[in-house]
Amino acid sequence: MRVFQLQRWSAIALLFFLTIHMIVVHYPPFHINFDNILVRLENPVWKVIDILFLLSVLVHALTGAYQVITDVDRAFDYRKGLAWAAAVIGVVAFVYGAATIWAFQLPV
Amino acid sequence: MSNDNTQRTVTVSIQRFDPDVDKKPHMQDYQVEMTKGMTILDALHEIKTHQDGSVTYRRSCRHGICGSCAMLINGRNTLACKTPLIDEVGHKNRVTLGPLPYLPIIKDMVVDRTTFWEQYLRVKPWLIPPDDIPEKEFRMSKEEVNALHDAESCIMCGACYSSCTVIGLNKHYVGPHALLKAFMRVMDPRDEAPGQRLADLDGADGVYRCHTVFNCIDACPKGLNPTQAIETLRKLAQKRKKFETTRRKRQQHLHEPIPAK
Ligand code: FES
């Protein structure tokens, strides 16, 4: 898939996940307290949502950065290397982030 | 619309650069007696003929057709022969002229357009006709002609190319002028190779490099819309195979009369 398409699809996904994120985290229609947050973070459905959110942020940010950097003449010649670098950063950040989200457990 | 009613002296500030003498460009002011209907190009002629023969610029047709007089006028790319002086001088009685940005300056307002033409040729701007050429003529419908969005009236002045910020950073990018031509050929039902054209434009330096800044639309002295053309090419590039099939089918009937509606 083209970088262009990846960026557009991740933007659409972000729109969805950001809306959820803003409602749940910043403007919740319910009283916010620490216990609620812990319960949410421990819920497997929320874990999946957060992992997908992380994935769309990473794809969007890295493809965007790649596009902007390769806009510059000199960087354009190294675009293969840059693409690989972005892919490696993306995979490492995703694995680390997803593992952290998945590993969360309620404190006993 | 200009309101030519005053005869007055105006200042024409020109960016000068002679690579044999200057290290970097500098501005030089000239006083010009503005006459009724005077264009920026007329003012430049006046300066070159009566004040300073070393002022260098390109021009040919003086009618907005050849595209050679494109330059930066008060910070905007446009044609000098099409721009009335009175519209540009404002209350300061001054107009600033410079060469097209992002291109190497040869002298004063003459720029090196090599990359511009290289990118233009890259998209094969000529029509590639089908093997089966009709005996009499190709028949295109009104809609098919309209779909070209007047792209054929592009005069290759370079105003869009040198207003594009992506071109400012990256000379690998095809550029709005060439993409407009490519659009014209891709949309032309007589063209045999729209699929190959779209494949050629599908790379990192093709249609996806455009950031939709709209500078090209703003700069085009012919009022064309290269951004729209680029958007269309992007969409078609993503469904190239389907588009090729539709074209092949259409070409089988290119010699037939268009049915009346
Ligand atoms: S001189 Fe030909 S377009 Fe201006």
Domain count, chain B: 2
Cβ separation B170–A3 shorter than 8 A: no
Q: How far is the CA of B105 from the CAs of A1, A101, B26, B52, B163, in angstroms?
A: 40, 56, 13, 19, 15
pLDDT tens string B23-51? 999 999 999 999 999 999 999 999 999 99
Query: How confident is the model at residue B1, as a pLDDT?
Result: 47
Query: How confident is the model at residue B141, as a pLDDT?
Result: 86
- Phi then psi dihedrals of residue B95, to 5 deg: -130, 140
Within-domain flag for B260: no
Distance CA B84, CA B97 (A): 13
Q: Does B172 score more than 60 pLDDT?
A: yes
Percentage of chain A exceeding pLDDT 90:
75
Indicate the pairing of strand B94-98 with strand B8-16.
parallel
Residue range A3-26+33-103 in CATH 1.10.3720.10: no
Residues forming a β-bridge with B94 = B11
Q: Which atom of ligand 1 is nearest to the CA of B58?
A: 1
Strand (E) or helix (H) holding B120: helix B114-122
Domain boundary among B72, B95, B111: B111
pLDDT tens string B235-254? 999 999 999 999 988 888 88
pLDDT tens string B103-129? 999 999 999 999 999 999 999 999 998
Cβ separation B208–A4 shorter than 8 A: yes
State whether B165 and B84 are in the same domain: no
pLDDT tens string A48-91? 999 999 999 999 999 999 999 999 988 999 999 999 999 999 99
Of residues B182 and B204, more confidence is placed in B182
State whether B246 and B132 are in the same domain: yes
Give yes or no for a contact between B64 and B154, defined as CB atoms under 8 angstroms apart. Answer: no
Query: How confident is the model at residue A100, as a pLDDT?
Result: 96
Percentage of chain B exceeding pLDDT 70:
97
| Cβ under 8 Å to A: B residues 141-200 | 166, 169-172
Query: How confident is the model at residue B127, as a pLDDT?
Result: 92
Return the best residue to mutate from B40, B48, B69, B154 for the ligand 1 pocket (most ligand atoms within 8 A of CB): B69
Q: Which domain holds residue B66?
A: 8-111
Beta strand residue intervals within B108-209, DSSP E: 110-111
Quick check: helix, strand or coil at residue A73?
helix
State whether B27 and B102 are in the same domain: yes
pLDDT tens string A84-99? 999 999 999 999 999 9
State whether B47 and B142 are in the same domain: no
Cβ separation A73–B238 shorter than 8 A: no
Residue A36: pLDDT band with limits 50, 70, 90: confident
Q: What is the CATH number of the domain that holds B32?
A: 3.10.20.30
Return the best residue to mutate from B40, B62, B77 for the ligand 1 pocket (most ligand atoms within 8 A of CB): B62
> What's the mean pLDDT in B184-206?
92
Residue spans of the domains in chain A: they are 3-26+33-103
Residue B152: pLDDT band with limits 50, 70, 90: confident
Q: Does A19 score more than 60 pLDDT?
A: yes
Query: How confident is the model at residue B6, as a pLDDT?
Result: 62
